[in-house]
Amino acid sequence: MPVIEYREAIRDALAEELTRDANVVVFGEEVGQFQGAYKVTKGLLEKFGPKRIVDTPISEAGFIGMGIGASMLGVRPVMELMFWSFYSVAFDQILNNAANVRYMSGGQINCPIVIRGPANGGTNVGATHSHTPENVLANHPGVKVVVPATAYDAKGLLKSAIRDNDPVFFLENTMLYGEKGEIPTEEYLIPLGKADVKREGTDLTIVTYGRCVLHSLAAAALLEKEHDVSVEVVDLRCIRPLDIDTVLASVAKTHRVLIVEEQKPFASVGSQLAYMIQREAFDELDGPIHRLATIDAPAIYSPPVEAEQLPNPQRVLKAALAAVA
């Protein structure tokens, strides 16, 4: 199979869906002439033209609101945020309008919009550009939240997201755009709401998503090599809908759990997971549920300090050893 970058996998998904469905359009800041702030949309303007690949003003409230309105009329917009941190500028449009329109219309109006872009720290762009809002987004019924870790998952999940009739918030990671993976030449889709066991193990379950999947896999390899600890890594892929069944099956197998996330620890996705695991699988646990998150402070501007603020393989290794102690 061809080996391509994460950003190329997203681009291929966009190109395939633009070709398949004339109602699919791409909107965002610099997605056209500049070919994307992270070159995800490179070449799409030339191939599909300015009516399908549309540069927007620097006004998230404006162009996200426009996309939501268009989606109610049958268009399938894919809206790029240069940083997911700017979702707050369009909070009313995204989480008050898009999330509720199907419910409030009695199922008569769909809102098939995808909002995508990077949501992560680690690039030393400061506290206002480094948010991970998946917990805030997932708190609102009516939306779907996707956080892919690999190029393969990013492509398959994005194609499914574009075809979905609900608002889908697709959170990427700047640090993953250059990561490479094998991608089949034939078309494939990955259903939303289905977790994936990235590594089989027997002693500890690590539940994670996004870039922390890579950190967890690296730590799992070290744990097996240096400490004879067998770790199972469950990649959620979607925060909502959440595949809790795959998580519980892994917990029943290993009986110990570590949740790893690039979120602040208070009221995070990990908080919800810990509650659900203890509620549904308390008798399977041989020890307390452990959690590892970003250190609870605004994103630190200093590159070496921010690297320690976020989860990394060594921090995961240390937390895993505590979980199996």
User: Any idea which residues carry the catalytic annotation?
Assistant: 60, 129
Half-sphere exposure in the Cβ direction for 17 (13 Å, CA): 28
**In the 8-state DSSP scheme, what is residue 228?**
-
Query: How far, in Å, are 63, 204, 255, 277, 278 from residue 288 at the CA level?
Result: 46, 12, 10, 11, 9
CB of 232 closer than 8 Å to CB of 206: yes
Provide the token pair at 228. 């004879």
H-run or E-run covering 247: helix 244-254
Convert 41-71 to b/e letters by CB count within 10 Å (16 or more is b).
beebbeebeeebbbbbeeebeebbbbbbbbb
Question: Which residues lie closer than 8 Å to 196 by C-beta, 6 or more apart?
Answer: 153, 234, 235, 237, 246
Token pair for residue 111? 């809102």
H or E stretch including 251?
A: helix 244-254
